[in-house]
Structure formats: structure tokens, C-alpha cells
Amino acid sequence: MYMLMMVLDDSTRLNEVLQAWVDSGVKGVTIVESTGVNRVLPRPAAGPMFAGFSQIFGSGRVGHNTLFAVIEELETAETAVAATEAILGDLTKPRTGIIFAVPVAKTWGMPEPYAAE
């Protein structure tokens, strides 16, 4: 078993990515709103001439979404990554996201074998 995790930079793409994961066989995805250090630490303020709408009106979205799910096979992760990159493009590019999978030693509270209801 593995924990598949993604930090999605553009939260407007969340539904597309979730559907791609479900279509790839990922079940039971949990979504958490999150943010990164580069969006929290102070930065020099842009002058009014260069300020974007989010700075002017204070309504910009600065967060991410972190997705995670327990999966049985690493191949499911590979399929989900390919489907995600089909939506977002190459994940090595800035402002896309990061996906990783880590081994899970044991789970509690999850049906064996894990199956969608």
C-alpha cells in the first residue's frame, strides 16, 4: 500500500484533477486547503503601478489544495500522475504541483481489500 499525495498549485483545476484521479483508480481522496512558505513569508510590496487585482482588491487566492489517498498499487500512482500531467502539463514546470507516493506500513479503519462502495 502507498499514500499518494499531491500539492496542487492552481485550486481552480481541483475538480479536473480529482476526476482524473478517480478515473485512474484512486479512491477516497481527501482534500485539505494548504499554503506554502513562499506564499506566507513577507515579500516586497509591489507599487500601485505593478499591483495585480488581488493586491488592489484583497481578493486573490493564495492557497493550494493538498490531496491524499491510500492506494494498493504503485501502478495506480503512475496512472494518476500521467492523467494529472495531461491536465496541468509537466509537473517540473513552476506553479503546477508536486505528487509523491510513500509506502504505508499499516492501516486501521480501512476495509481489506480497499474497494469503492
Secondary structure (H, E, C), the chain: CEEEEEEECCHHHHHHHHHHHHHCCCCCCEEEEECCHHHHCCCCCCCCCCCCHHHHHCCCCCCEEEEEEEECCHHHHHHHHHHHHHHHCCCCCCCCEEEEEEECCCCCCCCCCCCCC
Name the pLDDT band for 116 (thresholds 50, 70, 90).
very low
For a pLDDT cut of 90, what percent of the chain falls above it?
62
CATH number, position 92 = 3.30.70.120
Whether residue 115 is contained in a domain is answered as yes
Whether residue 48 is contained in a domain is answered as no
pLDDT of residue 117: 45
pLDDT of residue 37: 74
Helix axes 74-88, 14-23, angle to 10 degrees: 140
Q: Is pLDDT at 75 greater than 70 in this prediction?
A: yes
Range of the domain at 30: 1-37+60-117
Whether residue 53 is contained in a domain is answered as no
And the C-alpha cell for 113? 481489500
Work out the end-to-end distance of the chain between its first and last CA atoms, rounded to an integer number of angstroms.
19
Name the pLDDT band for 14 (thresholds 50, 70, 90).
very high
Whether residue 106 is contained in a domain is answered as yes
Residue 116: what residue type? A
Please name the residues in contact with 102: beta carbons below 8 A apart, sequence gap of 6 or more. 2, 3, 5
Whether residue 99 is contained in a domain is answered as yes
Number of domains in the chain: 1
Whether residue 11 is contained in a domain is answered as yes
Whether residue 54 is contained in a domain is answered as no
Whether residue 47 is contained in a domain is answered as no
